[in-house]
Amino acid sequence: MFGSDMMAKLAQMKQIAEESKMRLASQIVEGESGSGLIIVSMNGNREIESVKINTDLKTMEKEDLEDLLCVALRRAMDKANKLNEDEVANSTKGLFPGF
């Protein structure tokens, strides 16, 4: 069913995917909210690396903290998604003629 060319192409795609995953793991993006009160760091594989809360929790309402965390996480995820999309686009150039 698959010729040797197809098998070679699949092996090449697997190698490229593994290399991309390693590169993305080393690239960190941040999402922040509340003028830096909350900072979420995430790698290009969309794994959370850290969450920093730069305020005294006694001074915040629970709901406000939850909202700020959601905003920071969403911003970090948006940046990680963009990084991931760019990496996939760059790493697959030339694999598929016409794309």
The two structure tokens encoding residue 76: 């970090």
CA distance 95 to 81: 22
DSSP state letters, 30-93? EEEETTTTEEEEEETTS-EEEEEE-S-GGGS-HHHHHHHHHHHHHHHHHHHHHHHHHHHHHHTT
pTM score, two decimals?
A: 0.82
Q: What is the pLDDT tens value at each position of the chain, 99 positions in all?
A: 567 788 888 888 889 889 999 999 999 999 999 999 999 999 999 999 999 999 999 999 999 999 999 999 999 999 999 999 998 888 877 666 655
pLDDT of res. 2: 61
Evaluate whether 38 touches 70 at the Cβ level (below 8 Å). no
Domains with residue ranges and CATH for the chain: 34-94 (3.30.1310.10)
Tokens of 12: 């090449």
Instruction: Using alpha carbons, select from 86, 14, 99, 15 the residue that is nearest to residue 44.
Output: 86
